[in-house]
């Protein structure tokens, strides 16, 4: 009986083929089997056929098929199901690659200044991410699986840390990072309601909201114009006996002064959480940001340095913090068994915790008031391929930033231009411009002009968080003033530097900013 996965002999030629599918009951589509490949062997398309009934190795290229009648083939042998599954998977993935080339590839899209939008950020991907995504879907594992495990391992290696844990967003990463510091397992270093955490108001809200959500009090310090990072010389004046941590982001990929912050943290025994969501690939004193403090976080939302669509990560070198973060992410459970595994501690029914009876199932024992903030396997599959591109993404961001700066550097009379923190090597998220006091135009005027010319702009996120509606009834403290933060709220905007921007697009942005400014003289 002829069926899929069967090696057949073609009567007219004596050559071999492998049945792929049946065609309307009349014939079959077969993969051609050849003694040698016409092109170099590629794992993306080719498979080696080995069978006891064959006296030689045959090669299959998923792209080479023939339709043949039932009468013209003779059954020869059946390959095993595992090999046939691999072949069918290769066939599907080769079609995905072709689909990408037809409908997603941008190599033939030219920039038209009269119609093309210049985005501030976006996805940069190729057929590899699409293949990986579909490959994971064929497993239909759905929740965290082999790709998740692979990504966490490779991400930790990339960062040079011991542990990296995936989560469903950068905001969740920040929530997990801060929540971990509230664990009773940290004893006298546990952050409790009413404790204070030093941070800034100029930034994205979810750097600060985990502090509020856990009942702690954010203490806001002003930032420096140009670098847009925390003024570190004001930190010590903000510290009180209630201060337990410093939680700050590297603004727009520009590292804050980590050496000084870590020195202060060590002096006062404070935790340091680096919100690294906008700074993957940035370095301070030659070391990647996110790895200097006790915990680092990343976001994989599309405009960031790599993407999974949604997704984020939390990372640390501290084994205790790792286990606490994992607990908060995974429902608050005490058990550390990965999904689908049981009894990795070899005492699943041998624990006695809380006031539970001895032997209560450790898989259903909870040591924290946690969440379910896990990532899907499909997201991790995309991330595995995106991570390989981070070095080239980083260089593209640096190149685009430099091209913008060179084109605008003589406009210092009109703008405060962005500058890198001393001893840093930023992987820029955006190109910040702050309209100078006394300029003949406002931020709103230039932003409206750029948007009208199809150039996307963004603010420095919330501007000044203390002015936001959500913070009107929040218990916080300001140390000193927030003069520069207010200036940013009124006068600062950004344009993009992401890797999807070509030289033509960058030059178009430069030309439009210049023409607007020079027309206002």
Q: What is the dihedral of CA 295, 300, 305, 309, to 10 degrees?
A: 180
Strand partners, 315: 164, 296
In angstroms, the Cα distances linking 228 to 75, 204, 327, 419, 480 are 72, 13, 34, 9, 17
Give the Cα-Cα-Cα angle 166, 252, 246 (nearest 5 degrees). 65
Check if 304 is active-site. yes
For helices 377-408 and 503-519, the axis angle rounded to 10 degrees is: 50
**How far is it, in rounded angstroms, from Cα 44 to Cα 127?**
11
Question: CA–CA separation, 129 vs 112, rounded Å?
Answer: 27
Q: Which strands make up the sheet holding 217-221, listed edge to edge?
A: 163-167, 312-316, 295-299, 271-275, 243-249, 196-200, 217-221, 477-478
Q: Where are the beta strands (DSSP E) in 108-181?
A: 163-167
| DSSP label at residue 110 | P
CB atoms within 10 A of CB 140: 8
What b/e sequence results for 188-199 when a residue is b if at least 16 CB atoms lie within 10 Å of its CB, and e otherwise? eeebeeebbbbb
Q: What is the DSSP letter of 442?
A: -
- C-alpha R_g of the chain: 28
Instruction: Report yes or no: 122 and 430 within 8 Å, Cβ to Cβ.
Output: no
Give me the residues paired with residue 425 across strands: 283
User: Which tokens belong to 53?
Assistant: 């009934």
Distance, in Å, from the CA atom of 483 to the CA atom of 481, rounded to the nearest integer, reads 6
Name the catalytic one among 292, 294, 304, 414: 304
What distance in Å separates the CA atoms of residue 250 and residue 233, rounded to the nearest whole number?
17
Expressed in angstroms, the distance from the first to the final Cα of the chain is 85
Active-site amino acid positions: 304
């Amino acid at each position: 009986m002829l069926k899929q996965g069967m090696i057949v002999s073609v009567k007219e030629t004596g050559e071999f083929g492998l049945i792929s599918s049946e065609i309307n009951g009349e014939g079959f589509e077969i993969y051609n089997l050849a003694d040698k490949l016409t092109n170099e062997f590629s794992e993306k398309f080719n498979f080696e056929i080995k069978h006891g009934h064959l006296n030689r190795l045959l090669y299959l290229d998923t792209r080479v098929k023939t339709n043949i009648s039932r009468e013209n083939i003779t059954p020869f042998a059946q390959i095993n199901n595992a090999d046939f599954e691999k072949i069918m998977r290769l066939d599907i993935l080769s079609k995905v690659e072709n689909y990408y080339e037809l409908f997603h590839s941008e190599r033939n899209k030219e920039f038209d200044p009269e119609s093309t939008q210049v985005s501030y950020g976006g996805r940069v991907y190729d057929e590899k991410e699409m293949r990986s995504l579909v490959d994971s879907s064929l497993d239909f594992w759905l929740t965290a699986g082999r790709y998740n495990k692979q990504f966490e391992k490779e991400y930790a290696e990339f960062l040079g840390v011991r542990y990296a844990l995936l989560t469903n967003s950068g905001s969740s990463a920040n929530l997990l990072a801060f929540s971990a510091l509230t664990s009773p397992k940290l004893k006298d270093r546990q952050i409790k309601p009413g404790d204070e955490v030093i941070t800034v108001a100029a930034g994205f809200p979810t750097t600060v909201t985990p502090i509020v959500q856990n009942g702690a009090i954010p203490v806001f310090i002003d930032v420096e114009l140009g670098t847009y990072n925390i003024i570190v010389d004001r930190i010590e004046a903000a510290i009180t006996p209630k201060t337990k941590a410093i939680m700050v982001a590297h603004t727009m990929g520009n590292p804050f002064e980590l050496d000084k912050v870590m020195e202060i943290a060590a002096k006062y025994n404070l935790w340091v959480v680096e919100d690294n969501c906008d700074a993957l690939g940035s370095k301070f004193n030659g070391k990647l940001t996110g790895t200097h403090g006790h915990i680092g976080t990343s976001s994989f939302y599309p405009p960031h340095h790599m993407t999974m669509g949604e997704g984020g990560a939390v990372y640390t070198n501290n084994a205790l913090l790792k286990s606490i973060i994992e607990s908060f992410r995974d429902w608050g459970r005490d058990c550390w068994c990965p999904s689908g595994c049981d009894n990795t501690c070899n005492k699943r029914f041998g624990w006695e915790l809380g006031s539970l009876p001895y032997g209560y199932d450790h898989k259903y024992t909870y040591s924290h008031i946690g969440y379910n903030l896990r990532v899907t396997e499909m997201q991790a599959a995309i991330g595995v391929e995106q991570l390989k591109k981070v070095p080239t993404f980083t260089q593209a961001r640096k190149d685009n930033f430099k091209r913008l700066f060179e084109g605008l550097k003589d406009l210092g009379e009109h703008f405060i231009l962005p500058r890198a923190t001393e001893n840093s090597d930023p992987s820029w998220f955006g190109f910040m411009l702050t309209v100078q006091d006394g300029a003949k135009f406002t931020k709103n005027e230039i932003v409206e002009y750029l948007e009208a010319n199809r150039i996307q702009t963004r603010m420095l996120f919330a501007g000044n968080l203390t002015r936001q509606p959500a913070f009107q009834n929040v218990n916080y403290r300001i140390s000193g003033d927030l003069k520069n933060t207010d200036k940013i709220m009124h006068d600062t905007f950004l344009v993009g530097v992401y890797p999807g921007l070509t030289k033509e697009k960058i030059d178009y942005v430069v030309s439009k900013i210049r023409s607007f400014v020079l027309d206002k003289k």
